[in-house]
Amino acid sequence: MTSGTLYIIATPIGNLEDITYRAVRILGEVDLVAAEDTRHSLKLLNHLTISKPLTSYFDHNQQFKGERILNALRQGKSVALISDAGTPCISDPGYQLVRDAAAEGIRVVPVPGACAAITALSGSGLPSDTFTFAGFPPSRQGKRRSFLSGLSGVPGTLVLYEAPHRLEDTLADLLEVMGDRQVVVARELTKIYEEYARGTLSEVLAALPPGRTRGEIVILVAPGQAVVDTAEPLDRVLWRLLKEEGLSVKDASRKAAELTGTARNEAYSLALQLKDSDSPP
């Protein structure tokens, strides 16, 4: 028997008009819709006047449900995977199902559409030729800081998702770890209260309205200036900061990572080596 097709279908991130003709057609044709939250997705399907069997597929039942979905595909059924919003697999469940289906030779067809990261980037005015999407930072501060510090040297614009109640803390950690870079906070994209806050990290932090921020948020951090401007290699920058400016290993590696666009842990281990050396690189 020929197996069915697994469609990975992007749905709106707010504005219900943001769904493609193709996505609507395929949702109307498949045998089964696998959704992160069936009640949430039922509203979308009702809005589209599509009536289909729905099954849940979310983080905590991926293994068990994945097998049932694969079985349906093996039996020749076609399945659409959707998430609560945007593109499945992007900070949403799905990649294991895609991996397992592809490994069995089942046809996988992504149907592109809305994605908050790309929508935010396109409206941010920050460099978009190269960017790094890193999803949600960890919620605990220690882990978040080391996560962000590992990202401080990535090339291009850094794109993050964040929960509204952690926005202020994460912006403060970004300021601490990466210095006062340009940032854009994109909120409630495609919805009535869509807005972009633009400025340096300290400006955007200072302009946060009192009380808790609400809504859905994408944070975009501009690449460090020096990534573009400096050609000085990491070892020489570190030498200067350690030996000539007298900074500590911690401060020198943080600054050098920012100046050269290198990962902070890489700068730190090189700084440790250089600290006790007498010969400049």
Residue 157 Cβ vs ligand SAM, minimum distance, rounded to whole Å: 15
Q: How far apart are CA 158 and CA 4, in angstroms?
A: 37
Among 6, 8, 9, 13, binds ligand SAM (CB under 6 A): 13
Residues 6+ away with beta carbon under 8 Å from 18 = 12, 113, 114, 190
Residues 6+ away with beta carbon under 8 Å from 222 = 126, 127, 157, 181, 182, 183
Among 34, 218, 242, 274, binds ligand SAM (CB under 6 A): 218
Q: Is 117 in the site for ligand SAM (CB under 6 A)?
A: yes
Question: What are the strands, taking DSSP E only, across the chain?
Answer: 5-9, 32-35, 54-56, 79-82, 107-111, 131-133, 157-162, 182-187, 195-200, 217-221
Q: Is 190 in the site for ligand SAM (CB under 6 A)?
A: yes
Residue 14 Cβ vs ligand SAM, minimum distance, rounded to whole Å: 4
Q: Supply 191's token pair.
A: 């919805």
- Closest to ligand SAM by CB, 8 or 270: 8
Q: Is 91 in the site for ligand SAM (CB under 6 A)?
A: yes
Residue 151 Cβ vs ligand SAM, minimum distance, rounded to whole Å: 16
Touching ligand SAM, residues 67-86 (CB under 6 A): 83, 85-86
CA distances from 86 to 13, 18, 20, 69, 131 (A): 5, 9, 12, 21, 19
Touching ligand SAM, residues 159-188 (CB under 6 A): 161-163, 186, 188
- Closest to ligand SAM by CB, 137 or 153: 137
Q: Supply 208's token pair.
A: 């946060």
- Closest to ligand SAM by CB, 117 or 247: 117
Residue 120 Cβ vs ligand SAM, minimum distance, rounded to whole Å: 6
Query: Which amino acid would we find at residue 132?
Result: T
Q: Footprint of ligand SAM on this chain (CB under 6 A)? A: 13-14, 83, 85-87, 90-92, 115-117, 161-163, 186, 188-191, 216-218
